[in-house]
A and B are shown apart, each in its own frame.
Chain A
Amino acid sequence: MRFWQLGAAGKPGRRSLAAAAVALWLLGLVSGAGTAAAREIKIGMSAAFSGPSRALGIELYRGALAYINYANQQRLLGEDHLVVLARDDGYQPGPAVQNTIDLVEKHRVFLLFNYVGTPTVTRVLPLLKMFSKSHLFLLFPFTGAEPQRRLPYRDFVFNLRPSYLQETKGLVENLLRVGRRRIAIFYQADAYGRSGWVGVHRTLAAHGLKILAEATYHRGARFSDSFQQQVDILRRSRPDAVISVGAYAACAGFIRDARAAGWEVPIANLSFVDSDNLLRLLKKTAGTQLRRYTQGLIVSQVVPSYQEVSLPAVVQYRRLMDRYQPRIPSELATEPYRPLRYSFVSMEGFLNAKMLVKILSLMKGDLRRERLRRVIEGVRDYDIGIGVPVNFGPGRHQGLDRVYYTTVRGGKLVPMRDWRKWRK
């Protein structure tokens, strides 16, 4: 608390050596490194490293670490050294809140970064508001939910990825365009699911339509659980397409049960689903039926495909992933997981880290937290290497707006630009 009070006492906007020295000293004090020459910038991350959604936390961490390792190695922040303090919340709001308090109060992190999940993040938001006097920010959470994009919490969060509203709007409008008007929704019974639901609901309402049918599942459902009930509820109303707002384990289970029941309806998933792990689960269970299981799958993405090697960021991502092959801290590896060489999630983690490093570098060593907002809001047309620029600004706390669509072909996720094949 003392730290925050001290930090808050500092004068924002000034680039005085004295202030910087104080701040550096203070930071050094906090990190316990002791030397002003090699400051550690602690970044707090609470994400799912265990449970059925652990792939999200792990891959996001790995992608981010690939660039952070690179940045540290290349001294992109000069003498400053980025350290990511990762905590496992198992995709549950309670632990996420506790982790946040720990990270802030005990470890005194500089900012919060790469949080995973809507239910977790929405519950952390009031904490941010509480800590707002000490200018605590959450950067680039892995969620497209609305609460952190709106007042009253918008001011404490910066997003890189487009929102679920944008993703669902894109999916629904594309589906409507190809004549699929009877749309049902399968979603997680929590804030994340509700965000997707709201997106679908609003887009359909704008076209004078309603959600045809809906079915929910409990957050934390495993792939091994049965989703037959949900399949039956939705199938009864014979929809043209199903929008699936969930985590990969449940979504894969839902797809499996739908296809096993002979239901071939197109199923469109959001970026959060972690398409790579979704596909991996389906492959594991489908065996020779893979084509049937993966047919009719659409996943909206918020980052370009890691196969688009014409993009510099993709090239860099692949190179750094291969070079560092990042691993999660051993104390978090409580459950078995086989990392993916490349994935959309780690790609997003990579871009998040790249943006973070860019922002920190923009602070030019003056790491006063009250400066952070001004610096980020000052980012304009930053070419992060994916063909579209990143833009922030006052009131604009979301860097990217482009939504990408992928589908599965030949057992691989491939970019999808033409929706006509989905015509009813």
Chain B
Amino acid sequence: MSQLFKRTLLIMLVLFGVVASVSSLVAAWLIHSHLTEESKTKAVAIARGIAAFSPEIFLNLDAATIQSIIDQFVEIEGVSYVMVLTSQREVLAHTFVPSIPRQVLELAPVHPPAGGRKAGRDEFTVREVGDYLDVTYPILNGLAGQVQVGMDLRRVRQAIWGAIINVQMLTFLIFVFSALIAYVLMNKVSRPLAQLTEYASRLAVRDFSAPLDIKGKSELGVLAQTMTSMANEMQSHLKKTQEAMEALRRSETRYRELFNSISDLIYTHDLKGRIISANQAVSQVFGYPLEEIIGRLISDFMEPEARRSFHDKYIPRILAEGADNGIQAYISGTGQKVYLEYRNIVIRNPGQEPYISGSGRDVTPRMLTERELRKSEEHLRSIIESSRDAILSLDRDRKVISCNSAFLSQFGYSHQEVIGRPESFIHPSRQSVEEFAAEVSPILQERGYWRGEWEFAHKDGRLIPMEVVISIQRLADGTTFGYVSILRDLTPRKRAEQEARLNRERMFQAAKMVSLGTVVSGVAHEINNPISFVTLNAPALRRIWDDLVPVLQRYHRQNGDFQAGGFDFQELQQEMPLLLDYIVDGARRVKSIVADLKSYARHTPAEMDQQVRINQVVESAFTLTRNLIGKATENHYLRLGRDIPPFPGNIQRVEQVVVNLLINACEALPDRSRAIELSTYYLAEKDQVVIQVRDEGVGMDPETLSRVTDPFFTTKRDTGGTGLGLSVSAGIVEVHGGTMSFTPNPERGVTVRVAFPVRGAASRPEPRQDRRKAAS
């Protein structure tokens, strides 16, 4: 179909459309007004007819007759209802089924002008009620009521639609007919034109085979000839061009194949990031067809947070530097993350907007692997970091690569001090390094790990015994690339071992003492009898000697000098009393030692139900030791506290303790100028009775202090000390629930403080029968 005809057709269509619409409207309006008018006229005629029918019927209100009258009118076409109302507006008769529609019932009453302007004439009222045209007509000027006739407006509407459809149909038919005629006429005029047009359009697509059979001298004929010669000219020219083009195309195809077959992504984009070209690899990696990629913004494929940096950072950077490379994440068509390692350069051609050309490579697998590795590494690091063992990672040359915080804290170094240093810095000496290497290397090489104990050095030089596990880190091919040392501080363990050993020794000592005690008590008993002979008989011998001396002197005067036992009488007379004194003294010492031993080995506890008044006890003890004290010092003080409550216990035993303390104090004094001070007092806050003995003696070293109550520990073995005095005392104090402490005085000497609880030892557990102190 020719363009000319199409255009004509369009104009015709519009014209006919206007005609159809206008005529439909006119027809509709005419029909509407006509039919409405007709309906109205009809209704008025009917209403008037009814009203005028027989006035007496209405006056009689003969509803049945009225009904039969109005029934007839309903049969008339177009009449919907007839209704008669009385002058009081009561319904007299109607034709509605099943009931009077509300809208009709509620029509405003019509008030006919009583004898007014139109008196005696048609004073009907026309109203539209829904689908009805209601005509109200008064009967006898309204005195006898009114007639309402309803015309069906749907009929009017139907008629209007019918008319419109008819008009449209008719117009359409005329239109089709006109179009056909126009087509035929147009064809006649436009055929040569169309031929020329077609010829020209085929030339345009380089089809020179088309015939052109317009002859004659008319303008069209001349035009046709000109066009034919022009076509021939063009044909030869075109041929050359085509050949050149063909060569170019082949080259371009090859290039494009190459471009597309490269597995690297190759692309160009402008400075807004709009993709100008891309090869097949781009499509594969991005998961979109190429058509959807070209022309879109690169940033569309990025994660939203990366887009801003693309425009704000990447573009300025690459413009400034001329090139850029790196790794960029994209979201592919399948929604997965794709990492591209790109290398982009800015291409600047004169007179042209610069653009960016680049290539990229999909490094997603690598990135993902790296990420996994990082994760697993982080996992390991957290395990290592949380270990209480010191962990050290070394490289092949045994230099520290990393260590955990346990290592730093155990060795006292900071992180910077450690990294990169040779492992040897934790050894205390050169020698340790060499020994360690000699010990460890062979086993490590053979088994791949070494386990053992070694002493390393803290930063401050302190030695740390450690349990060490070293393992070699090897690659799959067996190449060593590093070592891991796990070091566990053994100091706590060693200390514990030491403690255990000491305990064992104490236990052993204690056991020894127990057996010794048993032996001693037996021996003491056995010794006691023989020594009694000595002690009883030695004084007798002395007295005997004393009595014999005058006899012997007399004998000497009479008989001269004589010898006895290798002694001259003169010597003997001097020596004999001394010898006897020695015996007496030795025997007494033996007896005292035996008494001590017996006392130490005594098994049965003493009665504890006495009320001990400490001051009495102290006075008594002081009296007992008065001689000793007098010999030891010129300065002794006794300070007895007031209002000291008694405490339950054994008076003799407590006295024994006080005596022991006084003796010890006296024995500690090197000369008589030194002082001893005994004081008693009541410690209310602890409810304790305290005896304190302070001396200015030689004092005790810490070792002695710590063992002072051990049985048989004595510093006076040579002077007959048994090492039992304080031990026994400590036992007694313990039985009383008290405590005994030794404190070196600031200047010199020792203060011993014994405290007894006023409430006694009742609250304490059953006192051990074994009173000897023993480590447990």
1/0 contact trace for A114-154 toward B, CB 8 Å? 00001100110000000000000000000001110010000
1/0 contact trace for A215-249 toward B, CB 8 Å? 11110000000000110010000000000000000
B96 is contacted by which of A145, A189, A197, A198 (Cβ under 8 Å)? A189
Contacts of B93 in A (CB 8 A): 194
Q: Is the CB of B99 within 8 A of A191?
A: no
Report Cα–Cα, A399/B365, bound state, in Å: 118
Given A93-B71, A119-B71, A191-B71, residue A218 in contact with residue B64 (CB < 8 A):
no
Q: Is the CB of B96 within 8 A of A191?
A: no
Q: Which A163-211 residues have C-beta < 8 A from chain B?
A: 189-195, 197-198, 201
Report Cα–Cα, A407/B71, bound state, in Å: 33
Closest B residue, CB atoms, query A227: B98
1/0 contact trace for B393-431 toward A, CB 8 Å? 000000000000000000000000000000000000000
Contacts of A201 in B (CB 8 A): 63
Report Cα–Cα, A262/B26, bound state, in Å: 56
Q: Which 8 A-B pairs have the closest CB atoms?
A: A194-B67, A191-B68, A122-B68, A195-B64, A191-B67, A198-B63, A215-B98, A147-B65
Q: Is the CB of B64 within 8 A of A118?
A: yes
Contacts of A191 in B (CB 8 A): 64-65, 67-68, 71
Q: Is the CB of B63 within 8 A of A218?
A: no
Chosen A-B contacts, 25 in total, with CB atoms closer than 8 Å, are A118-B68, A119-B68, A122-B65, A123-B72, A145-B64, A146-B62, A146-B65, A150-B60, A150-B62, A189-B95, A190-B67, A190-B71, A191-B67, A191-B68, A194-B64, A194-B67, A194-B93, A195-B64, A195-B67, A197-B63, A198-B64, A201-B63, A216-B98, A233-B98, A233-B99
Contacts of A118 in B (CB 8 A): 64, 68
Closest A residue, CB atoms, query B75: A94
Q: B97 near A: Cβ within 8 Å?
A: yes
Contacts of B67 in A (CB 8 A): 190-191, 193-195
Q: Is the CB of B72 within 8 A of A216?
A: no
B63 is contacted by which of A93, A194, A229 (Cβ under 8 Å)? A194
Given A146-B62, A194-B63, A197-B63, residue A230 in contact with residue B68 (CB < 8 A):
no
Q: How near does chain A come to B102, taking the closest CB pair, in angstroms?
A: 11
Contacts of A230 in B (CB 8 A): 98
Contacts of B282 in A (CB 8 A): none
Q: Is the CB of A190 within 8 A of B65?
A: no
Interface size, B (range): 10 to 19
Closest B residue, CB atoms, query A201: B63
Report Cα–Cα, A288/B98, bound state, in Å: 30
Report Cα–Cα, A38/B467, bound state, in Å: 158
Q: How near does chain A come to B68, taking the closest CB pair, in angstroms?
A: 4
Q: A214 near B: Cβ within 8 Å?
A: yes
Given A118-B64, A198-B63, residue A217 in contact with residue B72 (CB < 8 A):
no
Closest B residue, CB atoms, query A217: B97
Contacts of B71 in A (CB 8 A): 93, 119, 189-191
Q: How near does chain B come to A370, taking the closest CB pair, in angstroms?
A: 27
Q: Which B62-109 residues have C-beta < 8 A from chain A?
A: 62-68, 71-72, 93-99
A residues with CB within 8 A of B: 93, 118-119, 122-123, 145-147, 150, 189-195, 197-198, 201, 214-218, 229-230, 233
Contacts of B68 in A (CB 8 A): 93, 118-119, 122-123, 147, 190-191, 194
Report Cα–Cα, A227/B348, bound state, in Å: 92
Chain A CB count within 10 A is highest, among B60, B62, B65, B93, for: B65
Closest B residue, CB atoms, query A229: B98
Contacts of A195 in B (CB 8 A): 63-64, 67
Contacts of B72 in A (CB 8 A): 93, 123
Contacts of B64 in A (CB 8 A): 118, 122, 145-147, 191-192, 194-195, 198
Q: Is the CB of B65 within 8 A of A189?
A: no
Report Cα–Cα, A198/B64, bound state, in Å: 7
Report Cα–Cα, A118/B65, bound state, in Å: 10
Q: Is the CB of B99 within 8 A of A214?
A: yes
Report Cα–Cα, A214/B90, bound state, in Å: 14
Report Cα–Cα, A123/B66, bound state, in Å: 11
Interface majority SS (helix, strand, loop, mixed), chain A = helix
Q: How near does chain A come to B29, taking the closest CB pair, in angstroms?
A: 35
Report Cα–Cα, A233/B63, bound state, in Å: 23
Q: How near does chain A come to B173, taking the closest CB pair, in angstroms?
A: 42
Given contacts A189-B71, A190-B67, A216-B98, 10 further A-B contacts (CB under 8 A): A122-B65, A189-B96, A190-B68, A190-B71, A191-B64, A193-B67, A194-B67, A194-B68, A216-B96, A229-B98
Q: How near does chain A come to B226, taking the closest CB pair, in angstroms?
A: 87
Report Cα–Cα, A123/B64, bound state, in Å: 11
Report Cα–Cα, A229/B96, bound state, in Å: 13
Closest A residue, CB atoms, query B61: A198
Contacts of B65 in A (CB 8 A): 122, 146-147, 191
Report Cα–Cα, A233/B96, bound state, in Å: 13
Contacts of A150 in B (CB 8 A): 60, 62
Contacts of A194 in B (CB 8 A): 63-64, 66-68, 93
Q: How near does chain A come to B105, taking the closest CB pair, in angstroms?
A: 12
Q: How near does chain A come to B95, taking the closest CB pair, in angstroms?
A: 6
Report Cα–Cα, A145/B67, bound state, in Å: 11
Q: Is the CB of B99 within 8 A of A215?
A: yes
Chain B CB count within 10 A is highest, among A118, A190, A201, for: A190
Report Cα–Cα, A71/B284, bound state, in Å: 115
Contacts of A145 in B (CB 8 A): 64
Chain A CB count within 10 A is highest, among B63, B64, B71, for: B64
Closest A residue, CB atoms, query B91: A214
Report Cα–Cα, A119/B62, bound state, in Å: 14
Q: Is the CB of A216 within 8 A of B63?
A: no
Q: How near does chain B come to A98, taking the closest CB pair, in angstroms?
A: 14
Contacts of B95 in A (CB 8 A): 189
Report Cα–Cα, A198/B67, bound state, in Å: 11
Report Cα–Cα, A189/B67, bound state, in Å: 8
Report Cα–Cα, A146/B71, bound state, in Å: 16
Report Cα–Cα, A150/B67, bound state, in Å: 15
Contacts of A233 in B (CB 8 A): 98-99
Q: How near does chain B come to A152, taking the closest CB pair, in angstroms?
A: 8
Contacts of A217 in B (CB 8 A): 97-98
Contacts of B99 in A (CB 8 A): 214-216, 233
1/0 contact trace for B18-61 toward A, CB 8 Å? 00000000000000000000000000000000000000000010
Report Cα–Cα, A262/B62, bound state, in Å: 37
Report Cα–Cα, A24/B95, bound state, in Å: 47
Contacts of B94 in A (CB 8 A): 189
Report Cα–Cα, A226/B222, bound state, in Å: 87
Chain A CB count within 10 A is highest, among B66, B72, B98, for: B98
Given A93-B72, A122-B68, residue A189 in contact with residue B97 (CB < 8 A):
yes
Given A122-B68, A123-B68, residue A218 in contact with residue B62 (CB < 8 A):
no
Q: How near does chain B come to A235, taking the closest CB pair, in angstroms?
A: 12
Report Cα–Cα, A274/B93, bound state, in Å: 25
Report Cα–Cα, A150/B98, bound state, in Å: 29
Report Cα–Cα, A197/B61, bound state, in Å: 13
Contacts of A229 in B (CB 8 A): 98
Q: How near does chain B come to A204, taking the closest CB pair, in angstroms?
A: 13
Report Cα–Cα, A216/B99, bound state, in Å: 6
Report Cα–Cα, A147/B65, bound state, in Å: 6
Contacts of B98 in A (CB 8 A): 215-217, 229-230, 233
Q: Is the CB of A147 within 8 A of B62?
A: yes
Q: How near does chain B come to A267, taking the closest CB pair, in angstroms?
A: 16
Contacts of A216 in B (CB 8 A): 96-99
Q: How near does chain B come to A202, taking the closest CB pair, in angstroms?
A: 9
Report Cα–Cα, A118/B95, bound state, in Å: 15
Closest B residue, CB atoms, query A231: B98
Closest A residue, CB atoms, query B96: A216
Contacts of A215 in B (CB 8 A): 98-99
Contacts of B97 in A (CB 8 A): 189, 216-218
Report Cα–Cα, A229/B65, bound state, in Å: 27
Chain B CB count within 10 A is highest, among A93, A194, A195, for: A194
Contacts of A214 in B (CB 8 A): 99
